[in-house]
Amino acid sequence: MAGQPSGMTRPNWWYHRIRRELLRHWLPLRGQDARFRRHVTDLATAGPSVPAGNPRRVAHFISALNPGGAERQLTYLASRTAQRGIQTRLLTFGPPEDNTEHYASVLRADGVPIQRVTAADLRVQAASGGRPGSGDGVQVVPPRHVARALWLADVLRAQAPDVLHCWLDTESILGGIAAILAGVPRVILSTRSLNPDHFYWTQPWYRDWYRTLLACPQVRLLNNSACGARDYESWLGAPEGTAQVVLNGMDFSAFGQPSASREEWRRRVCGTAPGYVIAGVMRLSPQKRPGVFVDVAERVLAREPAAHMVLAGTGTLDRAIARRIARSPYAARMHQLGSVADVATLLAHSDVAVLTSEVEGTPNVLIEAQYLGVPVVTTRAGGAPETMVPGRTGFVADVDDVAGLTRHVCRLLRRPELRRQMGEDARAFVAATFSIDRMVDETLAAYSAP
């Protein structure tokens, strides 16, 4: 081919050419970027084929091991594949000792190495490039992300994994670009919840780059709920079935005996031995609607004098919820606990678990509560109804339907036999549907699918 340096294979030559264009243009995504997009898709079609059977080497990519649902699923998956003899590693960002990465010790114990890029590494990469591209209507990937993509591409070329599994939106796009540049045979873009345009942190370059990457034959899109998968497909204008559904897996072996007896725990948390406990475990953010949870609890407490509410979680609405509870005439029976390490004990000693979210993927708290034999009441948000059997293991109401949520909670509190039967059915359903081994098997099938 004209312009190809002698002694270099086409993929190697193409990689270095595209890398230079990355540095020169900072990945402009509209208008002047058509040439770069063609280079990416052309390089993808020239890449190696997906190996048959389970891969030998898998790399996972996420920005940080924060205490979130995606990070938990990554940890379960990476640990189990390492135990099955697959060489598994994690690529991430952040300082070498980051106390927020509380899953790191689990991965290391299972022999999964963690490789981090530091801020100094990113500064070196960014300093080697040019200025961001400019032009009317052009959206660009920020320079810090370009530096990350280039670092990751270099690491992938050196390590040559069979699969790069990217988690969350920004990481999926940057990891996907890096994997194509590096010639990784299979690229997994693992999305959670609904498409990013539902959230304040969405970026204008997300959708165009998802579409470009999904045009590459080695790229597959996963989501952890049918609702989320269809939402991404609609957002991208992609055919149904483009996003494969792999439900979350849960480590039920971690649910040991409660750390305190039912009466002891209730007296310590509530200051008395209440007749009923309504539990909420959620991030205190607008998407979770904690104010709706407090409204529901207030109505239930007004009708059930023996009931108490407990709310575990932190977030941007911490103070607003605290003020809302302080103003309530039932404040003495409403307990805001903040961050709780032993969520299993909290749920096990509750009578009903309530989730009031507006947006959800696959909420782990509903799965955990049901496994512990606690019926659930949830809004019809995202994949929340997929974690249960409505009418059999709990009840569902519309988003912000305070009256409907209140009615369902009161029904469960007033009918102990219904509560007991739903709890038993809930445990059996969750144990059969959300096992880690099932999640791992389905993900490995996606790795090697044609």
- pLDDT single digits (tens) 134-190: 333 334 456 667 777 888 988 999 999 999 999 999 999 999 989 988 899 999 999
Which of 116-125, 291-300, 412-421 is predicted least confidently?
116-125
Percent of the chain beyond pLDDT 90?
63
- Over range 187-211, report the average pLDDT: 91
C-alpha–C-alpha distance, residues 57 and 230, integer Å: 30
In whole angstroms, how far apart are CA 309 and each of 203, 264, 333, 343, 346? Answer: 38, 16, 6, 15, 11
Residue 301 lies in a domain: yes
**Is a pLDDT exceeding 50 seen at residue 129?**
no
Residue 3 lies in a domain: no
Check whether residue 223 and residue 282 sit in a common domain: no
C-alpha–C-alpha distance, residues 117 and 153, integer Å: 12
Q: How confident is the model at residue 37, as a pLDDT?
A: 58
Check whether residue 443 and residue 352 sit in a common domain: no
Q: How confident is the model at residue 325, as a pLDDT?
A: 98
Helix axis angle for 143-159 and 119-127, nearest 10°, is 100
Q: How confident is the model at residue 256, as a pLDDT?
A: 73
Check whether residue 90 and residue 214 sit in a common domain: yes
Residue 135 lies in a domain: yes
Residue 4 lies in a domain: no
Residue 349 lies in a domain: yes
**Is a pLDDT exceeding 50 seen at residue 307?**
yes
H or E element in which residue 281 lies: strand 276-281
pLDDT band at 362 (very low <50, low <70, confident <90, very high): confident
Check whether residue 177 and residue 318 sit in a common domain: no
Average pLDDT, the chain: 85
Check whether residue 190 and residue 96 sit in a common domain: yes
Sign of the CA dihedral 72, 77, 80, 82?
A: negative
- Per the model's pLDDT, the better-predicted residue between 37 and 171 turns out to be 171
Check whether residue 305 and residue 232 sit in a common domain: no
**Is a pLDDT exceeding 50 seen at residue 374?**
yes
Q: How confident is the model at residue 192, as a pLDDT?
A: 85
Q: How confident is the model at residue 145, as a pLDDT?
A: 73
Check whether residue 346 and residue 363 sit in a common domain: yes
Residue 318 lies in a domain: yes
- Over range 183-203, report the average pLDDT: 92
In whole angstroms, how far apart are CA 448 and each of 47, 56, 248, 319? Answer: 15, 11, 19, 48
Tokens of residue 51, six digits: 């190996």
Q: How confident is the model at residue 187, as a pLDDT?
A: 97
Check whether residue 199 and residue 272 sit in a common domain: no
pLDDT tens-place string over residues 53-111:
789 999 999 988 887 788 989 999 999 999 999 999 999 986 555 555 668 888 999 99
Residue 237 lies in a domain: yes
Indicate which CATH number applies to the domain containing 348. 3.40.50.2000
**Beta-ladder partners of 109:** none
Which of 4-13, 52-61, 357-366 is predicted least confidently?
4-13
**Is a pLDDT exceeding 80 seen at residue 28?**
no
**Is a pLDDT exceeding 50 seen at residue 271?**
yes
In order, the DSSP letters of 183-225 are T-SEEEEEE-SS-GGGSTT--TTHHHHHHHHHTSTTEEEEESS
Q: How confident is the model at residue 94, as a pLDDT?
A: 63
**Is a pLDDT exceeding 50 seen at residue 7?**
no
The number of folded domains in the chain is: 2
| Contact of 196 with 203, CB cutoff 8 Å | yes
- Over range 236-256, report the average pLDDT: 91
H or E element in which residue 77 lies: helix 69-83
- Over range 227-243, report the average pLDDT: 97
- Over range 422-439, report the average pLDDT: 96
Check whether residue 98 and residue 220 sit in a common domain: yes
Check whether residue 41 and residue 62 sit in a common domain: yes
Check whether residue 268 and residue 224 sit in a common domain: no
Percent of the chain beyond pLDDT 70?
80
**Structural domain of 311:** 252-433
| Contact of 347 with 317, CB cutoff 8 Å | no
Check whether residue 336 and residue 422 sit in a common domain: yes
Residue 5 lies in a domain: no
- Over range 236-245, report the average pLDDT: 97
Which of 127-131, 155-159, 359-363, 379-383 is predicted least confidently?
127-131
